[in-house]
Chains A and B, each alone.
Chain A
Amino acid sequence: MPDPTTRPAGIPGSGLTGPWPVGQYAAGLRERLRGLTRVQVFGEVWGFKGGRAKVYFELRDATGALPCSMWRRDWDALGLAALADGAQVVAAGGCDFYPGSRTSSPSFTFDVTDVRIAGEGDLLAQLERLRRTLHAEGLFAPQKELLRPALPRTIGVVCGETGKARDDVLAGLRRRGWGGRVVWAFAPVQDRHAASRITRALQDLAACPEVEVVIVARGGGSLADLFAFCDETLCRTVALLRIPVISSVGHHTDRTLLDDVAAVTASTPTHAAEAAVPVHCADAHAALRAGAVRLERQGRRAIVERARTLARLSRAPAEHVARHRARLHQQLRELRAAARRGVAERERATRGAAAALRRKGDAAALARTRGAVRARAGAAALDRGSSAALERRRRDLERLRLALAAHDPQRTLERGYALVEDAAGEPVTSAAAARAQPALTLRLHDGRLPVRPDPSAPRVP
């Protein structure tokens, strides 16, 4: 407690009472606030955190908010699970004030003694409506269409001055082996001024022509803490910036509207830094060296190969003539050898044919001699055979003549027989046939006599 005897003099001319020791005033304030009527308020819960002695959360609506706390035993007695962001509740309680001390900060709180869950809140719904509006206006696209440099020389970073995000961004850039220029635009990242200050920082960075890409980074926090990054003015500003913005706000499970409009969203500030420099500088150096080597090698090879080709072509005519000459000599040698082979073969064939011809001539002469002998013998046998056969045939002929004469009907007629013939000259051999004929001819050995049968004559058996 300050010693009242050391109380300083007041401000000259001021009509206000005091000066009072601040602790005394703070204690008075607490009593005053505790004396206010206890009420029920309703709103949406954000940033619910459970401590050992108390639970803490904020109640918000579109026009204001209250920091709330509740004794742990009272909260546990309700039997409720942890409240999700956006849950609509009715809270009963009254104002309270912790006056602080030399070593601790004062704080105002709405001391809650009872809670009733009233349904889902509408701040999230408002957020969704704004998201749909921005999307419908096509504001999610422009940033994504911007070209992001693979190797920016200057990177702007918007983050809290004292947060861990700053170190994470630097770590990410160093991991890439990047040694360019980082321009810090520090801004509060969660109070009520955050959105406007972040917007201003982004505009200022974009106004510097050296800055080629901007990272907006903030560590994790409740979605309520991240509401600054859902600010409509901030999002519209980012959507229309000339340089790409890489957003890394909160945990990867939180999606702010800034994430939607930004060119790229990264899960951590380190990843955001890596996204800002997609190329690993050491790898790029190595690849470039390899490319340069290949380029030189290809260029040298193109010239050397062509020089070799040229030299080969210059030698070609002489080589061509020599090649043809050699081939010609070879063909000549082959031709002579073939001619010699051909003559020898024909000589051999002629000798063989002459020998065969001689053999055949000898055989023919022998055959001719044998044939003459056989012909002479045959002629003698033929002469003998022909005279005997002639005699035998003469005798057979006489015998046949005699047999034929014995059967001649003329000889029968000469012996007194007659042959009866009809008008056509056919023999009639029966009495009945004779009776049926109108006229008959009797053939005798010396001529024919016509007769007529008498049908009235009695039949003689």
Chain B
Amino acid sequence: MAETDVALTYEAACERLEAIIARLDSGEAGLRETLELCQEGRRHVEFCAAELEAVGQGLEELRLDELVARLESGRAEAA
């Protein structure tokens, strides 16, 4: 999954996490696969936790022109 992390979304990470847990629960995975799945699963948990954290800071309200101004100032700083 590491190569797809660039385009990873919350729902894709959740889906993959469920698939990993189902695979581990089945008891069919070998030791190496288990360790790799656990490692990958931890990455997805961290990603999902970060996503949830990002929308758990309290609702922020902006008007569209404020957002545009913020984006433009961000671009100017980057430049």
Contacts and interface: CB of A to CB of B under 8 A. Distances in A.
Interface of A: 147, 149-153, 156, 170, 173-174, 177-186, 201, 204-205, 208, 210, 277, 279, 281, 284-285, 287-288, 291-292, 294-296, 298-299, 302-303, 306
Contacts of A288: 45, 48-49, 52
Chain B interface size, as a band, is 35 or more
B22 to A, nearest CB: 10
Given A149-B11, A294-B21, A201 B54 contact: no
Contacts of A170: 59
B25 interface: yes
A298 to B, nearest CB: 4
Contacts of A302: 24, 29, 31, 34-35, 38
Give the 8 A-B CB pairs with smallest separation, nearest first.
A299-B38, A298-B24, A180-B55, A150-B11, A302-B34, A151-B10, A185-B64, A295-B41
Given A292-B45, A299-B35, A281 B55 contact: yes
B14 to A, nearest CB: 7
Interface in B7-55: 9-11, 14, 17-18, 20-21, 24-25, 29, 31, 34-35, 38, 41-42, 45, 48-49, 51-52, 54-55
B8 to A, nearest CB: 12
Given A285-B52, A295-B24, 7 more contacts: A151-B55, A173-B59, A179-B57, A182-B62, A185-B64, A186-B63, A284-B48
A279 B52 CA distance: 10
Given A150-B11, A298-B38, A291 B56 contact: no
B1 to A, nearest CB: 14
A298 B21 contact: yes
A291 B38 contact: no
Contacts of A153: 51, 54-55
A277 B45 CA distance: 19
B77 interface: no
A291 B25 CA distance: 12
A295 B52 contact: no
20 contacts: A149-B11, A150-B10, A151-B11, A170-B59, A179-B55, A179-B59, A180-B60, A184-B62, A208-B64, A281-B52, A281-B55, A284-B48, A285-B52, A287-B14, A288-B52, A294-B24, A295-B21, A295-B45, A302-B31, A302-B35
